Amino acid sequence: MEQMSSMAWKILPLLRKNAKDIAIGVVSGLVIANAFFLNSAYADMDTGPRYPDDATVALLIGAMQNETLPYGELPAAKDAEPRHLLTVPITAYTSDLAQTDNTPCIAARGFDLCAHDEEDVIATNFLPMGTKIRIPDLYGNRVFTVVDRMNKRYDRHVDIWMREYSDAKSFGLKFATIEVF
């Protein structure tokens, strides 16, 4: 018994010194044992090909033939409630070269304001391009779309595009609540 305990005291320093190498060896041995010996547990299992059921085959064939299946009707879009209500300063601008860059009719989104010729677009920096807004205090239910950007110094500011310089000048600066959709 005494001889065994002295042997254990000799082995412990070796285990402590080589703990990392021993752990790597044990893990490697388990991986190898799993790869070669434990797969024999699946020897009686049917591992052959699995074929889809008839409904799945019909869907796959329909997809290959590019057939569309009727899914019903989509619900009609309704007026959504605004996501945000913000009171902001609102001004107006035109496609005058003095108020724009060197492409006065082309908005930042690539939208041709002059060809569109509708006063339903705005420039702003704090809303993503394509965002829809309403200005009920000034324009009722008319919907405006963000298609342009303003100078960086104008944060939380809306600029409405107008055809005529005189209309934009007479619009001036107004504070109104906008509905963001």
In contact, 135 and 90? CB cutoff 8 Å: yes
Residue 29 in 3-state DSSP?
Answer: helix
Q: How many CB atoms lie within 10 A of CB 148?
A: 21
Share of the chain above pLDDT 70, in %: 83
Q: To 10 degrees, the CA torsion angle through 147, 93, 157, 148? A: 20
pTM: 0.55
Decide if pLDDT at 1 tops 60.
no
What is the per-residue pLDDT across 83-142, written as a single tens digit (0 to 9) for each? 999 999 999 999 887 777 778 888 888 888 888 888 899 999 999 999 999 999 999 999
Q: Domains in the chain, ordered, with CATH? A: 2-64 (no CATH), 84-180 (2.40.40.10)
Look at residue 62 in the predicted model and tell me its pLDDT. Answer: 79
Q: How far apart are CA 138 and CA 181, in angstroms?
A: 17
Residue 27 in 3-state DSSP?
Answer: helix
More confident residue, 32 or 93: 93
